[in-house]
Structure formats: C-alpha cells, structure tokens
Amino acid sequence: MVDSLKKPSFEELRPGVKVPAKETLLTPRFYTTDFDEMAKMDLSPNEEELKALLEEFRADYNRHHFVRDAEFEQSWDSIDGETRKLFIEFLERSCTAEFSGFLLYKELGRRLKDKNPLLAEGFNLMSRDEARHAGFLNKALSDFNLSLDLGFLTKTHKYTFFKPKFIFYATYLSEKIGYWRYITIYRHLEAHPENRIYPIFRFFENWCQDENRHGDFFDAVMRAQPQFLNDWRAKLWCRFFLLSVFATMYLNDIQRSGFYASLGLDARDYDIKVIEKTNETAGRVFPVILDVSKPEFYQRLDVCINNNEKLGAIANSNTPKFLQFFQKLPFYVSNAWQLLRLYLMKPIDMTSVHGTVR
Ligand SMILES: [Fe+2]
Ligand SMILES: [Fe+2]
C-alpha cells in the first residue's frame, strides 16, 4: 500500500506509454491553418530583419545543448507521491506543448517550401528546435518510467483551425510566455540550487533563448503584415489572445501549485511575474496590452479558480449527470462573466509608444 502511495499510477496505452491527459480547454492545443493564405503573405516590408533572424536560426547555438549528462543517470524514486504525479504532469504538458509547436511548424515548413521560401525556412528551423525540446522532455519522462507516444498523439489529438493572423498572435505569445516561464524557473533555481530536484531545469537557460528567438521571428512576421497590428480589430484580438494565454496559464498553474512549491516557488507570485513580463514584451509589437497591474485582474481570475474547484467537486460527486449540469451552471456563468469583465478592462494603448521606443 505504501508503494502505491509513493508511486502514483497512470493509465497506460502500452507498458510504460502514458495515456495522454484528457483534452480540455486548459490543455495544450494543436493548430492547423489556411496554408494558401499563409503562402501568399508578402514579407518584403520586413525582409531584412527576417533574414537576420534566419541567420541566427541557422547558426544553431543549441546544437549540442540537449545532451543528457551523468546527472540524469540515477534513480528518481526520491520524487514520490503527489510531487511525482505533479512532476509527470508538468513534463507531459510541456512535452505536448513543445510537440504541438513542432507539428505546426513542420507542416508549415513543408507546405510553404516552394511558395514562400523565407517563411518556410523559418518554420523548418523552428520545428528543428521544438523537436529537440519535445524529445528532451519525453526522455525526462522515461526517468519516471513513462513516455508519450507522439505518433499516437499526432493522430488522435484534436486540431484547432486558426486563420494565419491568429496563428501569429497565438504562437508569438506562446513563445514569449514560454521564454519567461523557463527563464524565471531557471533564475530562481540558480539562486536556490537546493530546490533543483531534477537536472532538466539546468537546461532552461539556453533552451529559453530558442523560444525567445522564435518569438522574435513571429514579431518580425507581424511587422511585415501591418494590417495584423494597426486597426481596431487587431486591438480587440490582441486583447483576446493576451487574456486567453494569461488566464489559461494562471488557472493551470494555481491548480498545480504543489509542483511549483516543490521547486520552492509560490505559483501565484511566479505567474504574476511571468504575466507581467510577457505583457510588457508583447507591448513591443501588439498595439495594446492588458492592465495587469490592477488587483482586479487577479481577483477575477481567483474567482474562476474557486469556481473550477467547485466544478471539479460536482463532477466527482455521485449526483446524476443531468442534475450535475444544473449544479454546474452558475459556476460556468460566473466564469464567463469574470472573463468578459476581464476582457472589457481598459487596456493600455501601445501605439504611441511604438514610434519612440522599440
Ligand atoms: Fe520550444
Ligand atoms: Fe519555440
């Protein structure tokens, strides 16, 4: 009994291959897009910057970075119980997110090859990086005697269709938030090495530079398409994407605060820092950013967290399903209301700043 408490069991597809986590609104998404529209994009208005970024990608600074060293070669049974479960979930979520980037970029690289070589090369080189990231995380899962069948995931995961403009908002933000997430963990563990309970975090410093460069590439692509950034629609959509990315991360992380606690981090403080930094970074290219300094921003997200806890408790109760729906309804309505109010909070206009500071 003690053993089963120490080693949480996960459902397996085959021995050692984990059944992927159930897809919800909060799990990493896989994307597809309108490849013809993407192929027709004219990047000449910002070609110089894009070419310079491609040079950086080609230099492949992390070519020799993702190599597992001796520190991995030990038993990780000391990470047990709830921490082990949260650890495995963290590795799985990160691996799935990295792999989703790989799939999208790889497909774009393939489809745009002859039609838009500049964009195609960028996507191909980014998919090279994401494949390394996903592979490294999957290898880390094997230290916990599990792995993900990425081929199975490719076939069974749902794909969300986004028009190219939305793909760029979403991928830009996920790269930049990824950068801030990795670097914040890295810097924290650098200051508190006693909390570095597993070696993968040592790799985050160079790793996050890949994400930063990917984000810069999307920044440059959006600048080549000023209509993505300069009208009222762009302002509304940028607000929408900022809010969805921040809310998703916050709701996910607070729910798993035990994982961050195992690294000596307070999940809330960590998320607030990552949100502030990502928001500030996005202000370099997006026409608006969110006013995340207002306490209301986190208060409303905290209401959603409480609602989600109640929703979880209802779902796990013995109440018949059709009654559960009515019990859940007020919490769904409350979540929608909080998110709407967050969306309507007065944003910070960045267009006047862009002329002076870049
Ligand atoms: Fe990545
Ligand atoms: Fe990336």
Contact criterion met (CB below 8 Å) for 318 and 251: no
Range list of β-strands (E), the chain: 12-14, 17-18, 30-33, 159-162, 288-289, 348-349
> What pTM does this model have?
0.94
Nearest to 150 by CA among 50, 13, 280: 13
Rounded distance from Cα 174 to ligand 1 centre (Å):
9
Mean pLDDT over 133-158 rounds to 94
pLDDT at position 183 is 98
Distance 30 CA to ligand 2 centre (A): 14
What one-character DSSP code corresponds to residue 318?
S
Give the distance (Å) from ligand 2 centre to CA of residue 215: 7
Give the Å distance between the CA of 100 and the centre of ligand 1.
9
Q: How far is the CA of 97 from the centre of ligand 2 (A)?
A: 9
- Rounded Cα–Cα distance for residues 240 and 174 (Å): 14
Cα distances (Å, whole numbers) of residue 341 to 152, 243, 302, 348? 39, 11, 13, 16
**299 contacts 342 by C-beta, under 8 angstroms:** no
pLDDT of the residue at 23 = 81
pLDDT tens string 258-314: 999 999 999 999 999 999 999 999 999 999 999 999 999 999 999 999 999 999 999
Q: Model confidence over 224-233: pLDDT tens digits?
A: 999 999 999 9
Give 335 Cα–ligand 1 centroid separation in angstroms: 30
